[in-house]
Amino acid sequence: MQGVGFRPFVYAIAQKHRLDGFVLNDGDGVVIEVEGGTTALDGFACALREQAPPLARVDTVEARRLEPTGETGFQIRASGMAGGTALIPADVATCDDCLRELFDPDDRRYRYPFVNCTQCGPRFTIVTGVPYDRPLTTMAGFPLCADCRLEYEDPGDRRFHAEPIACPVCGPQLSMSIEDAAEALVDGDIVAVKGLGGYHLACDAAREAAVARLRARKLREDKPFALMTNEPALLVELDDEERALLSSRERPIVLVRRRADAAVAPSVAPGTPWLGVMLPYTPLHHLLLAAFGGSLVMTSGNRSDEPIAYEDAEAQKRLGGIADVFLAHDRPIHRRCEDSVMRAAYPIRRSRGYVPGAISLPVAARRPVVAVGAELKSTFCVVRGRQAYLSPHLGDLDSELAHAAFQTDLELYLAMLSIEPEVVAHDLHPDYLSTRLARQLELDEVGVQHHHAHAAACLAEHGETGPALALVFDGTGYGTDGTLWGGELLRCDLSSFERLAHLEPVPLPGGEAAIREPWRVAAACLERAGEPVPWKRWELVRQALKVNAPLSSGMGRLFDAVAAVLGVRESVTYEGQAAIELEQLAGDTAAEPWTWRLGDGTSLVTDCYLALRAGRDRAGIAAAFHETVAAAAAAACAEVAEPITVVLSGGSFQNLRLLGSTRRRLEELGFRVLTHQLVPPNDGGISYGQAAVAASRLF
């Protein structure tokens, strides 16, 4: 463990027990040698385990008896060899002590945007190598001034060995004043703000013209923007769990229900009752929000779903056409890391604040593994033994830029962890960029079916190996028969799976176009059922059925088709949009499930259509549809009966009504239900699932 004030803590307890010796970071962790009487040594060992500072997570303590060497005094020694296995800490939000200094006119760091200490500040994003010491961070180019050096070397100071320590005299500087940046925001400008793991694009969240301009320039039509605010209670309804998540030291974006009276421009999050909000997490954010006085849109510095820009020259080039003003600084970002996004019920994106923290696997990999993930919401995962290191969110892996980012970030990760992978785990889809990258690595390959990876991720994060049943409801994933799957009931363990039930495939007229235009799928369903198709343009499109209509059993397509039939949305601008709006339409409307067996999606789409024609209200139909899918999914499990553990995974289970209803129905039937808590149910969790499967198959 490094960068969490652990060595100073060791120093302090060694002093207290009057022990001689030393502490140092070597590449594998912290090494302590202490010399003294038995009582003192026992007291020291006890304090070591029980009084560790809040950020320190002690995984293991190994103790050995040595011959006394006659040490005198206790020292913090320079670090040992580089390139070991010790974990780089995650970035931590500004702590309360540093915040007090930031706004204290008598403090020498008053209004200094880079204040930090052993308990807070940049870590992962500035570390260039292990062990974690200032020369191996992007702070290497800022020699300490005399005052900072005194603090850094004083064991009694709260900045004792705080590696990124800085002050206005010796540390990084802004490219423009906070006041000028805030003024630009007040004027309605778009400001590119250099943050921890990349650039954000910021604008006044209450000002429609500014937000609409940002959308137009960023080429992002409807996908919601996140907000940064000091007063979340004015914008959203928060329960205790959400409030705790919001102010946790990871400071994720938390997706919560918006208040009806929230002063937020319509273009921030069109068509959804949810708002993604976060609190400021760097001193620069705190100063900017204080000077601006309201809430800001804070969205990743990129166009659409490209990787976030993080290098200064690159940001100027890529964001120059979007931002009016750049609020930058001269502390380099060594690796990109996007904001994390969480719901109280499950993670949506596990990134800044959480990475590179390891997630355990229930089985140890006998050889080092890299798992390359899927395509959308791309991540990779590197495994040594039982430890799985999931990468930050990389964006959608379908552009040149993403391709390059994936390779850069993977190299940085492998170097940081000193891992040379021998095995690569990948999706079965032959055309995914990640699959092609996997082939290029020339390692032993483990192909993992997409939905098996989803299920394995959920099992593994709970420390389980199965066997279990798995309901995996998803947009799209390549099946072992070459068709697209995604409405699956599997029986699986970590190594293998069996497909027990699934949605019947429906044609996607026009292929990818049918994913962007769900009405096409709805039309194909209605035509198949012999019902009139209400869309005139179907005449032009139906030809595609003969030439380009791949089959898909994806649950996402079923939700899309029902959304189209109910007039919720006929075409989408981002993944999941139609399903999100269908969930919103259903709301809390009470409904009983219809008679339907998990399988024939066409008939369910048709039932929704007929109910609408019969004059039933749309909300009631949407609610009945949700309950029908949940009830049929639970019934399908009941039919199989065993094992009694059911995992729920796949992007469709981000739908809270579907998730809640399915879980409740399964539990009523006596099943034990596992859902995602550590990795996302969407494709951001796929690489971890692939890693779990590979580890298990290598066993």
User: Which residue lies nearer to Fe ion by CB, 302 or 682?
Assistant: 682
CA 73, 77, 81 angle in degrees (round to 5)?
A: 150
231 neighbors 250 (Cβ within 8 angstroms): no
Closest residue to Fe ion, based on beta-carbon distance: 474
Q: Residue 117: which of Zn ion, Fe ion, none does it interact with, CB under 5 to 8 A by kind?
A: Zn ion
Q: Token pair of 549, please?
A: 């209509």
CB of 149: closest distance to Zn ion in angstroms? Answer: 8
Task: Select the binding partner of residue 226 from Fe ion, Zn ion, none (C-beta < 5 to 8 A, by kind).
Answer: none
Among Fe ion, Zn ion, none, residue 378 binds (CB under 5-8 Å by kind)? none
Which CB, 98 or 658, lies closer to Zn ion?
A: 98
With respect to Zn ion, which residue has the nearer C-beta, 170 or 610? 170
Q: Which of 24, 170, 206, 363 binds Zn ion (CB under 5 A)?
A: 170
Q: Which two tokens stand for residue 149?
A: 């050096």
For residue 213 the two structure tokens come to: 């301009």
- The Cα 422–Cα 440 span in angstroms is 13
Residue 98 touches which member of Fe ion, Zn ion, none, C-beta under 5-8 Å by kind:
Zn ion
Could you tell me the two tokens for 268? 């921030």
Residue 95's binding partner out of Zn ion, Fe ion, none, with CB under 5 to 8 Å set by partner kind: Zn ion
With CB under 5 A as the contact rule, which of the stretches 162-170, 506-514, 538-546, 566-574 interacts with Zn ion? 162-170
Partner from Zn ion, Fe ion, none contacting 474, C-beta within 5 to 8 A by type: Fe ion
What's CA 354's distance to the chain center, in Å?
8
Closer by beta carbon to Zn ion, 173 or else 573:
173
Residue 170's binding partner among Fe ion, Zn ion, none (Cβ under 5 to 8 angstroms by kind) is Zn ion
* Contact in structure between 498 and 492 (CB atoms under 8 Å): yes
Nearer to Zn ion, 90 or 191 (CB): 90
Residues 100-139 interacting with Zn ion (rule: CB under 5 A): 117, 119-120
336, 318 in Cβ contact below 8 A?
no
Q: Which residue has the tokens 């962007």?
A: 516
550 contacts 544 by C-beta, under 8 angstroms: no
Which residue pairs, CB below 8 angstroms and at least 24 apart, start in 495-500? 495/693, 495/696, 495/697, 495/699, 496/452, 497/449, 497/451, 497/452, 497/455, 497/470, 500/469, 500/636, 500/640
Q: Contact region for Zn ion (CB under 5 A) — 18-26, 92-100, 192-200, 649-657?
A: 92-100
State the nearest-atom distance from the C-beta of 650 to Fe ion, in Å. 6
Q: Which does 145 bind (CB under 5 to 8 A by kind): Zn ion, Fe ion, none?
A: Zn ion
- Does residue 145 touch Zn ion according to CB under 5 A? yes
Q: Which is nearer to Fe ion, 200 or 452 (CB)?
A: 452
**Binding site partner of 148, from Zn ion, Fe ion, none, Cβ cut-off 5-8 A by kind:** Zn ion
According to the binding rule CB under 5 A, does residue 95 interact with Zn ion?
yes
- The DSSP output letter for 594 is P
Residue 493 interacting partner from Fe ion, Zn ion, none (CB closer than 5 to 8 Å by kind)? none
163 or 474: whose CB is closer to Fe ion? 474
Q: What is the number of residues in the chain?
A: 699
Q: Considering Cα of 30, then 34, then 37, then 40, what sign does the dihedral take? A: negative
Question: With CB under 5 A as the contact rule, which of the stretches 64-72, 142-150, 220-228, 663-671 interacts with Zn ion?
Answer: 142-150
Helices (H), 54-176: 96-102, 146-153
**Residue 98 is a binding residue for Zn ion (CB under 5 A):** yes
Other Cβ atoms closer than 10 A to 616: 13
User: Which of 17-25, 146-154, 302-310, 424-432 is the region at the interface with Zn ion (rule: CB under 5 A)?
Assistant: 146-154
Residue 47 or 145 with smaller CB distance to Zn ion:
145
Residue placing its CB nearer to Zn ion in the complex, 6 or 519: 6
Which amino acid is present at 196? L
Binding site for Fe ion (CB under 5 A): 474, 683
Q: How far is the CB of 451 from Fe ion (least distance, A)?
A: 7
Backbone phi, psi, residue 38, to 5°: -60, -45
Q: What are phi and psi of 311, to 5 degrees?
A: -95, 145
**Residue among 92 and 371 whose Cβ is closer to Zn ion:** 92
Among 30, 87, 167, 636, the residue binding Zn ion under the rule CB under 5 A is 167
Residue 487 contacts residue 555 (beta carbons within 8 Å):
yes
- For the chain, the straight-line distance linking the first and the last C-alpha, in angstroms and rounded, comes to 28
Provide the 3-class DSSP secondary structure of residue 568: coil
Residues found near Zn ion in the complex (CB under 5 A):
95, 98, 117, 119-120, 145, 148, 167, 169-170
